Amino acid sequence: MIGSVIVANRSSGVLSPDRGVTPSTGEGRAMAPNDRRAPVRKLFWNDAYLTSIRTRVTHASDHSVCLEDTIFFAFSGGQESDAGTIGGIPVVEAAKDGLDIVYTLPSGHGLSAGDDVDVVIDWERRYGLMRHHFAAEMVLQLVYRHRPGIARVGAHISPNKARIDFASAENIAAIFDAIQEEVAALVAAASPIITAYSDEASQRRYWAVEGFAHMACGGTHPKTTAEIGTVHLKRKNQGKGVERIEITLTAPSPG
């Protein structure tokens, strides 16, 4: 039962800043001016399953554009960016700029402010990111439960694997059997994954699974825990008192 794996809320989830993640600096990228219109509306928070939209360019330089609306997630706190196109042009990089997102395109892309464009993302990549992201969130919360006081010092989410690094002198694989059993119970429960604003003005978000955890997080998430599938854990000793958990998934069976 879900009630058997209740964990205490912690101040940081997988995508919260930590010393193990280096944010993009924006070097070589033309950033948008600070005095332009409101930041992009992030539709991936309203519906993480959208794969294409029609929107408008709000700012353009030779190397980049900003948009009125977007479904294209930008690298944040360890979760890799989506891949896809804007106006049929491949996106080279997506990076946060305050509350906005700047999309780097090949030089001479030809887009201008006011242009209507189609934004299309690679769905297979997005879904892999969503599933591995939330698998990592579940594992993180359960590690906190089994190792009170342990510190997360790094994280990375890709479409095919996630990893979380912890400051620990103990072999973290000792708790894998318990964690995998509890994760399997969460997946079998098919619980809704609730996402919403905790502070809309500053665009602070959270996820919650009733009876399990409530965490600050601005990533993209599946609708239910059932979508995660089977979780596989592997330990890597990084040396210098750092234990790494690598997370891979087997997709749930159809139906």
Tens-place pLDDT, residues 114-169: 999 999 999 999 999 999 999 999 999 999 999 999 999 999 999 999 999 999 99
Does the pLDDT at position 18 exceed 90? no
Does the pLDDT at position 39 exceed 60? yes
- Cα–Cα distance, 24 to 96 (Å, whole number): 8
- Amino acid 4: pLDDT: 35
Q: What is the mean pLDDT of residues 80-90?
A: 98
User: In this structure, are residues 245 and 40 in contact, taking their beta carbons and an 8 Å threshold?
Assistant: no
Q: What is the mean pLDDT of residues 23-46?
A: 63
Q: What is the mean pLDDT of residues 236-252?
A: 92
Q: What's the pTM value of the predicted model, to 2 decimals? A: 0.87
- Cα–Cα distance, 119 to 86 (Å, whole number): 5
- Amino acid 77: pLDDT: 79
Identify the band that residue 15 occupies on the pLDDT scale cut at 50, 70 and 90.
low
Backbone dihedral angles phi then psi of residue 199, each to the nearest 5 degrees: -150, 100
Residues 6 or more apart in contact with residue 26 via CB below 8 angstroms: 95, 97, 102
- Amino acid 10: pLDDT: 52
**Could you give the percent of the chain with pLDDT greater than 90?**
80
User: In this structure, are residues 132 and 157 in contact, taking their beta carbons and an 8 Å threshold?
Assistant: yes
The residue count for the chain:
255
